[in-house]
Chain A
């Protein structure tokens, strides 16, 4: 839990500054999967602004998407930050380059928050994703600088993390228009470690391929599961369906492989699935009925885009096909961490999954 208080208490941080002689090359840090729930504060703040951000070149400015972004003074009270050289506060153990400690939260002695955008972009370019997260939570102007979806910072991380094949594919990210969203989709893509041994993930990182192994049903889960909020995953079945082709979601414990050709996803209480071949919903081994609920629902055509939406707050899940809402598929979903999943039986079939974030309502 990261909690934010208006008043800070005085503690003594000893902040070490490393100045290495060798180059501070942009590190390719592997993001450690952090599955614990951290509630983080809002990026979107409604404090009123007075002074706009100073910036010499606003070359990286892109109008942010529909969120309200307000540019604020750092000090919430409206006092301009004290820039004079104030004396060092008492009871410190200063490091040789220790930054001056703040005496009280309302009057920071130094304020880097008002650095111009270009400078901030340059600084943030050298940080890893984890540090960027910390930076985003630090103050409003940094937050605003980092919430620019297409700024160089995200582009650069995108190029680092995503495989070449994914970046050059024109159709993969049709729905996602910003670098940041694509980066996020990468973090939710199919999990190479959570996959049946008969499947593998193709070089673009987003498509799973089932090898032609006889008498086996194989599945895969996404890298990240969801347990709060509303999430949409665009799933496209790129290969032939075969006799059983199930799209759905599962907990961490659902099986991803079994012998024979069965609807693995939905065979126990750890998974929920929609079999595209006969349009039947499955959970706990029970067929829950035809979906969508109409006479003769249309068969799935290869290449159609199915959007799986998991609403963890209302505990329902539903599917959309080509932007057409098909009805609620599953309700009373338990409040567990749920991963998007598919299972397939046809050899050399492929399924692509792209995380698109929160679906646009209405």
Chain B
């Protein structure tokens, strides 16, 4: 009866239930969950096993909100059959991913934060790359319009030069 991730479960809808802070519940299948190192480690450390509709052992997730978690799970489910799950240089962004990443600002930032937290490496890489494209070629004013933030208001000679030298 030792729970193990490698055993193929004979239950109907084997998955885990994730509960976020705002009380939303999301189901994620075992295979899809492999994308998230955080969850994989958690499950193996606690010795959970997938159960029908995730009724047993629901997992509490701090720091991630419901909608974001749903997005992440959606991505993981889509990619659950990918061969190399933790590949570092995931260079090609597929069409589906592109479509998936067409999010608003806030959603994108939440996604990046959450994928960092849950350690979904590939998603983290492609979403940060996407944000990098938003930054490319813009001046600070435009960047502030997109990303928020206030301008530094003080100037000092030293720092000016420093900045200029870095150019």
For residue B7, CB closer than 8 A to chain A, the reply is no
For residue B129, CB closer than 8 A to chain A, the reply is yes
- A40: chain B residues within 8 A (beta carbon): 155, 159-160, 163-164
Once the chains bind, are B93 and A41 in contact (CB under 8 Å)?
no
Q: What count of chain B residues pass the 8 Å CB interface test?
A: 58
Contact flags (1/0) for A87-121 with B, using CB distance below 8 Å?
00000000011011110010011111101101100
Q: Which residues of A contact B (CB under 8 A)?
A: 2, 4-6, 8, 13, 15, 17-25, 31, 34, 38-47, 56, 67, 74-76, 81, 83, 85, 96-97, 99-102, 105, 108-113, 115-116, 118-119, 122-143, 180, 183-184, 187-188, 224, 228-229, 231, 313, 357-358
Once the chains bind, are B136 and A113 in contact (CB under 8 Å)?
no
**How far, in angstroms, from A127 to B162 measured CA to CA in the complex?**
19
Once the chains bind, are B146 and A115 in contact (CB under 8 Å)?
no
Once the chains bind, are A97 and B150 in contact (CB under 8 Å)?
no
**How far, in angstroms, from A22 to B124 measured CA to CA in the complex?**
17
Once the chains bind, are B145 and A133 in contact (CB under 8 Å)?
no
Tell me the residues in window 135-167 of chain B with beta carbons closer than 8 Å to chain A beta carbons: 135-167
**How far, in angstroms, from A143 to B151 measured CA to CA in the complex?**
10
Once the chains bind, are A74 and B149 in contact (CB under 8 Å)?
yes
Which stretch of B17-25, B47-55, B97-105 is in the interface? B97-105
For residue B58, CB closer than 8 A to chain A, the reply is no
**How far, in angstroms, from A9 to B33 measured CA to CA in the complex?**
46
A-B interface pairs (CB < 8 A), number: 235
**How far, in angstroms, from A136 to B152 measured CA to CA in the complex?**
10
Given contacts A2-B139, A24-B91, A138-B143, 6 further A-B contacts (CB under 8 A): A40-B164, A83-B106, A108-B147, A112-B109, A137-B152, A143-B152
Q: Which residues of B contact A (CB under 8 A)?
A: 91-93, 95, 98, 101-106, 109, 112-113, 116-117, 124-125, 128-167
Q: A99-B146, A142-B149 are in contact. Are A119 and B116 (CB under 8 A)?
A: yes
Once the chains bind, are A122 and B152 in contact (CB under 8 Å)?
no
Q: Which of B104, B132, B148, B160 contacts A139 (CB 8 A)?
A: B148
- B156: chain A residues within 8 A (beta carbon): 42, 44
**How far, in angstroms, from A315 to B135 measured CA to CA in the complex?**
39
**How far, in angstroms, from A141 to B149 measured CA to CA in the complex?**
9
Q: Which of A24, A41, A142, A229 contacts B153 (CB 8 A)?
A: A41
**How far, in angstroms, from A11 to B141 measured CA to CA in the complex?**
11
Report A118 CB to chain B, min CB distance, Å: 6
User: Which of A34, A42, A130 is packed against the most chain B CB atoms within 10 Å?
Assistant: A42
User: Which of B117, B124, B128, B142 is packed against the most chain A CB atoms within 10 Å?
Assistant: B128
Q: A23-B91, A24-B129 are in contact. Are A45 and B154 (CB under 8 A)?
A: yes
Report A266 CB to chain B, min CB distance, Å: 26
Once the chains bind, are A100 and B105 in contact (CB under 8 Å)?
yes
Chain A to chain B contacts (Cβ below 8 Å), 17 pairs: A2-B139, A4-B152, A15-B138, A19-B93, A19-B102, A38-B164, A42-B155, A109-B105, A115-B112, A119-B116, A127-B136, A133-B163, A133-B166, A138-B144, A139-B152, A228-B161, A229-B157
**How far, in angstroms, from A227 to B44 measured CA to CA in the complex?**
62
- A313: chain B residues within 8 A (beta carbon): 157
Once the chains bind, are A122 and B124 in contact (CB under 8 Å)?
yes
- A224: chain B residues within 8 A (beta carbon): 165
Once the chains bind, are A188 and B165 in contact (CB under 8 Å)?
yes
Once the chains bind, are B152 and A19 in contact (CB under 8 Å)?
no
Q: Which of A46, A110, A126 contacts B132 (CB 8 A)?
A: A126
Once the chains bind, are B102 and A96 in contact (CB under 8 Å)?
yes
Nearest 7 Cβ contacts at the A-B interface: A139-B149, A108-B148, A23-B91, A126-B132, A111-B148, A137-B140, A112-B147
